[in-house]
Structure 1
């Protein structure tokens, strides 16, 4: 395309040559400018009409805004209903957790009254309605408060159960020699060396030399030495001024300060010290005063019977 522009005042003319590419670019630029002009005019007309309340434009704007609000409201309502259903499921789980808490409380030896109760709810279902955002937030806050209470309670229960576990394993209820019955019992008897009445401060377990001697409970080795009367002797401190003594051993396998667990092999049966034959002399001392070990062992047997569903262990049945 060839254009000639003539200026009559200056008596001069100018020639412009437009190729196909230039013509297309010019057309696109003109179209873009027209689109911007139309969009600006459309925007100005609708804003002006909405502000000034033009009959037709104002009605159109209100319809568009109303449709947008309704769509947004439907979207929010659907999400709120879904969240409300999830909250209902969480409330049901909290009720199940409360019943579980009561059972765990019993295991920990705590009273059910110490459990925070979920407020009781009920009644006939009259009508269903969607929760508002404020109501849903209130329910979530209440669930959060209940969850925090459960966390605190479970922390206390964990501490209580751990303490019970430690105490259970620190009380000498494990038989120190397996499969053997106690011979000479705790109490007054005729001394085999002097023939006179003397207090026997423990239990004697007859067994062959080398038979394993087991720790009756967990603790710390207090003494490992040779005693003129007790021979090779081991004493274990179980805390709370509770000590067990194992005497006349042929060998000892622990040293002072060692940590031992319930049922650990600590020595072997022998006849060292003041002894007439191979056996274990087993004592339990509370605050340094000898106690009847049979009371502790009987408590362990009772616990074993309860765990076995009422069937008495064979070794205990022969006693």
Structure 2
């Protein structure tokens, strides 16, 4: 290597620098070291820039992925919330439909009990609603407003149910009271032979007070209960002959005297119109007839207003 020579062209001519020269070697080594250092620094800078940019991209990708995952979880939770709302409203609507069915059934029952004309009050027909041009409020329907309407409707149904139950009970009690109040003729066929009040006694010919009404008819024709009640007497009773006494409650009692035969027993429950005996002339009687009395709180009253009702 000592024999190598560096040739350099100048304006003055060609100059030769032998490598055996110590100064030349030092200069060459310095230049080579400087070049190597520049190359190394450039490579390090480029690598740093490349890896830094790569790490930045990876961080952005990770951040975007995390955001996507978060939005997916929010969407899943929102779907669950919407489904829960739908299930809750469906359940609420089901309850309202059941209450509506109960109200319709109760309403139909009340129309029968109250003897309301079904053509005038038909629960199966949709009620008419409407009005003049309405001014829209501009408010939007929301899930919250729908819930409020459903709960308000359920509350109204509950109140109506309570009111109708009370009304049904009152009507039923009224019906029971009516059925337990003497209101039927005490026989199917016959006619009035003597009214309530003063009359000539057929046995003595003197003025006497007649505390009931007499009905004449065919021998052994049916005698019927004038109202619902319980038999408290069924048998022979002095001048009444064979007699039946029925307690109707509310202070009302009825008596059916001079029967030929008795068809009920003591303690038996009877319904208005049930046959309880046959017409005869037992006891103090001139011929076959029914002596009919109504007692209110233990006092004999005129049967005619009750029978006419």
What interval of TM-score do these two structures reach, taking the shorter chain for normalisation?
A: 0.5 to 0.7
The offset of 1:274, in angstroms, is 1.1
Could you tell me how far 1:145 is from its partner in structure 2?
3.1
What is the TM-score normalised by the length of structure 1? 0.61
1:295 aligns with 2:299: no
Question: Quick one: which of 131, 136, 156 aligns to 1:146?
Answer: 156
Scaled by the length of structure 2, the TM-score of the pair is: 0.63
Unaligned residue ranges in structure 2 (runs of 5+): 1-54, 115-130
User: Are the aligned partners of 1:84 and 1:131 in contact in 2 as well (CA < 8 Å)?
Assistant: no
Checking the alignment, whether the CA contact within 8 Å between 2:189 and 2:217 is kept in structure 1 is no
**Cα offset for 1:262?**
1.3
1:279 aligns with 2:264: no
Structure with bigger gyration radius: 2
Q: Of 130, 133, 142, which residue of structure 2 is paired with 1:131?
A: 142
Asked whether the 8 Å contact 2:214–2:290 carries over to 1, the reply is: yes
Counterparts of residues 152-301 of structure 1 (less than 5 Å): 152-299=162-309
How far apart are the structure 1 equivalents of 2:81 and 2:141?
A: 11
CA contact (8 A) 1:252 1:266 kept: yes
How far is 1:172 from its partner? 1.0
Q: Alignment length, in residue pairs?
A: 232
Q: Distance in 2 between matches of 1:106 and 1:220?
A: 26
Question: Structure 1 residues 264-273 or 77-86, which shifts more?
Answer: 77-86
In 2, are the aligned partners of 1:80 and 1:131 still within 8 Å (CA)?
no
Q: Does 1:66 align with 2:71?
A: yes
Contact 1:175–1:216 (Cα < 8 Å) also in 2 = yes
Question: Relative to 1, partners in 2 of residues 1:140 and 1:240: Cα closer, same or farther, differing over 3 Å?
Answer: same
Distance 1:128 1:106, change over 3 A: farther
Instruction: For residue 183 of structure 1, give the secondary structure of its aligned residue in structure 2.
Output: strand
Shift of 1:178: 0.7
Q: Deviations over 1:73-103 (max 9, x none)?
A: 3674477478669968959x86x959x86x9
CA RMSD in angstroms comes to 3.7
Q: CA deviation at 1:183?
A: 2.1
Report the Cα distance in structure 1 between the residues aligned to 2:77 and 2:250, rounded to whole angstroms: 69
Gaps of 5+ in 1: 1-48, 109-121, 300-319
Is the CA contact (8 Å cut-off) linking 2:113 and 2:175 kept in structure 1?
no
